[in-house]
C-alpha cells in the first residue's frame, strides 16, 4: 500500500433493547452528529463519501439507506450501502480511499432490532427451496455449528459458557453496553436453553443502535487527529451457503480472510504481534471457533486458552475487552462496533476498558449464519 488510510474518529449511540425514542434516521444521526463534533469535521467541506451498512429486511424499508441519506450527508453526493456486516463497510471504505477517488469517508451502520422479529429476518437468509421451510434461523443453525465444534474437539459446555462470563464481565466497564453483569458459568448454563446447546445468555440480545466512524487518507488524517489508527491489513472471504456443504467446525473463510489481512499487515505470528482482538461473538461458541480461525491457537484449543486466562481482560491477549456482541450490539452494526472499539483502544480513549499499551488490534466481523462471510481488519498505532 503506497497510501495509508486511518480511522480518525468513532462514535456510538447508547445501545438498548428498545430505543422507542428514536427512528432509524434519528439513531444514525445521533452517531453522525457525535463523530462530526468529536473530529471537528464539516460534512460539506470534509466528507466526500459515505459507506453505510443496513438491511432492507431489518428496517422494513425498501433501499434502507433512504432512511439515512440526509443524515449521512448523501444528498446530491456519493453514498453507498453494503448489505452486510459493518466490518465490510470499513473494508470497502478503505478501498475507496486507496483508489484515489475519495479522501475522507463516513462509515455508518444502524439497526433497530426491536421493530421486527429476528427469527423471521434470519429465516429469510436461508435459500427458499430446501432449507427455509425447515424454519432455520441464525440461532438454530448456530446450534448445529456449536454442537459439531464441541463434539469434534471435546469442548465442554462449561468452556463455552465461560465466554459469556468473561464478556458480560468485561461489559461492566463499557458504558455503551446494555447486557452486562458478574455471572457464573452456572448462571449461564441455567439460563433458558434457546437451541441446544445455546443458552439465552450465550447469544447477542436484540439491540437498537448505530455506530459512525470516519476514515481518512494519510495526509488528511494527520490534520484531523494526533491519534490516527492505521488500517494495516484487510481481508474478506465467502464460505459455502448450505450447512451440509462444509464441516461446520472448520472456518475456511475466516482462515483465508485473516491470511489476506496478516499478509498485508506483515504479521507473521498474531499471538506475539497483536495486543487485543475484538471479534464477532454473536454466540458464545463463536468466540472460541473464530479464535482458532484467526490462528490464535491450534484447532480445538480455544477452550483451554480461555480457561488459562490468556484472553481475559488482564490476560496476554484480551479478546472483546468491550464485552463484545454478547453485551448488546445490533445486527449489521456488529462489525463496525468491533472496529470502533478496537480503534478506541489504540487511540487510548477506551476509558475504564482501556488495555494498557494497545498498539495493534485484530477486528473480525461476519455476515450470514455460521460465518458465511468473514471480514478481518488489522489496526495499528504506527
* Interacting residues toward another protein by CB under 8 A: 1-3, 55-57, 60-63, 65-66, 69-70, 74-84, 88, 91-92, 94-96, 98-101, 121-122, 124-125, 127-129, 234-241, 252-253, 256-257, 260, 264, 367-368, 372-373
Q: How far, in Å, are 100, 255, 329 from residue 321 at the CA level?
A: 35, 23, 14
Residue 305 CB, shortest distance to another protein, in Å, is: 26
Based on CB atoms, which residue is closest to another protein, 142 or 157? 142
Contact status, residue 8 vs residue 228, Cβ threshold 8 Å: yes
Residue 76 CB, shortest distance to another protein, in Å, is: 5
* Three-point CA angle 186, 365, 303, nearest 5°: 35
Closest CA to 109 of 88, 138, 135, 132: 88
Based on CB atoms, which residue is closest to another protein, 177 or 213? 213
Residue 67 CB, shortest distance to another protein, in Å, is: 8
User: 10 Å Cβ neighbour count for 68?
Assistant: 28
Based on CB atoms, which residue is closest to another protein, 322 or 372? 372
Based on CB atoms, which residue is closest to another protein, 85 or 275? 85
Compute the distance between CA of residue 337 and CA of residue 343 in angstroms, rounded to an integer. Answer: 10
Residue 73 CB, shortest distance to another protein, in Å, is: 10
Based on CB atoms, which residue is closest to another protein, 136 or 313? 136
Q: How far, in Å, are 12, 167, 370 from residue 126 at the CA level?
A: 31, 29, 12
Residue 143 CB, shortest distance to another protein, in Å, is: 19
Compute the distance between CA of residue 267 and CA of residue 7 in angstroms, rounded to an integer. Answer: 20
Compute the distance between CA of residue 112 and CA of residue 371 in angstroms, rounded to an integer. Answer: 22
Question: Which helix (H) or strand (E) covers residue 110, if one does?
Answer: strand 104-112
Residue 257 CB, shortest distance to another protein, in Å, is: 8
Based on CB atoms, which residue is closest to another protein, 124 or 156? 124
Amino acid at each position: 500500500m503506497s497510501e495509508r488510510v486511518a480511522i480518525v474518529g468513532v462514535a456510538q449511540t447508547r445501545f438498548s433493547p428498545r430505543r422507542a425514542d428514536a427512528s432509524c434516521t434519528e439513531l444514525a444521526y445521533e452517531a453522525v452528529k457525535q463523530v462530526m463534533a468529536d473530529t471537528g469535521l464539516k460534512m460539506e467541506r470534509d466528507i466526500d463519501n459515505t459507506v453505510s451498512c443496513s438491511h432492507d429486511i431489518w428496517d422494513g424499508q425498501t433501499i434502507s439507506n433512504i432512511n439515512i441519506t440526509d443524515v449521512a450527508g448523501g444528498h446530491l453526493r456519493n453514498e453507498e450501502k453494503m448489505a452486510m456486516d459493518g466490518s465490510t463497510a470499513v473494508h470497502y471504505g478503505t478501498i475507496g480511499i486507496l483508489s484515489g477517488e475519495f479522501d475522507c469517508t463516513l462509515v455508518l451502520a444502524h439497526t433497530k432490532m426491536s421493530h421486527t422479529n429476528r427469527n423471521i429476518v434470519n429465516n429469510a437468509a436461508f435459500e427458499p427451496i430446501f432449507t427455509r421451510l425447515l424454519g432455520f434461523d441464525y440461532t438454530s443453525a448456530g446450534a448445529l455449528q456449536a454442537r459439531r465444534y464441541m463434539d469434534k474437539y471435546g469442548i465442554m459446555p462449561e468452556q463455552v459458557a465461560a465466554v459469556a462470563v468473561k464478556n458480560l464481565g468485561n461489559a461492566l466497564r463499557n458504558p455503551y453496553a446494555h447486557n452486562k453483569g458478574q455471572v457464573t458459568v452456572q448462571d449461564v448454563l441455567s439460563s433458558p436453553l434457546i437451541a441446544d446447546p445455546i443458552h439465552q445468555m450465550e447469544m447477542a440480545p436484540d439491540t437498537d443502535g448505530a455506530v459512525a466512524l470516519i476514515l481518512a487518507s494519510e495526509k488528511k488524517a494527520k490534520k484531523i487527529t494526533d491519534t490516527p489508527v492505521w488500517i494495516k491489513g484487510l481481508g474478506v472471504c465467502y464460505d459455502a451457503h448450505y450447512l451440509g456443504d462444509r464441516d461446520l467446525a472448520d472456518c475456511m473463510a475466516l482462515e483465508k480472510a485473516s491470511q489476506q489481512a496478516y499478509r498485508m499487515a506483515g504479521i507473521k505470528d498474531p499471538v506475539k504481534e497483536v495486543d487485543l482482538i475484538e471479534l464477532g461473538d454473536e454466540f458464545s461458541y463463536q468466540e472460541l471457533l473464530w479464535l482458532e480461525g484467526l490462528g490464535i491457537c491450534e484447532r480445538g484449543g480455544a477452550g483451554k486458552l480461555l480457561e488459562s486466562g490468556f484472553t481475559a481482560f488482564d490476560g496476554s491477549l484480551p479478546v472483546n475487552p468491550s464485552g463484545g456482541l454478547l453485551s448488546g450490539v445490533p445486527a449489521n452494526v456488529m462489525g463496525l462496533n468491533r472496529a470502533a472499539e478496537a480503534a478506541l483502544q489504540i487511540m487510548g480513549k477506551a476509558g475504564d476498558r482501556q488495555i494498557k499499551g494497545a498498539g495493534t488490534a485484530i477486528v473480525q466481523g461476519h455476515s450470514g449464519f455460521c460465518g458465511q462471510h468473514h471480514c478481518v481488519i488489522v489496526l495499528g498505532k504506527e
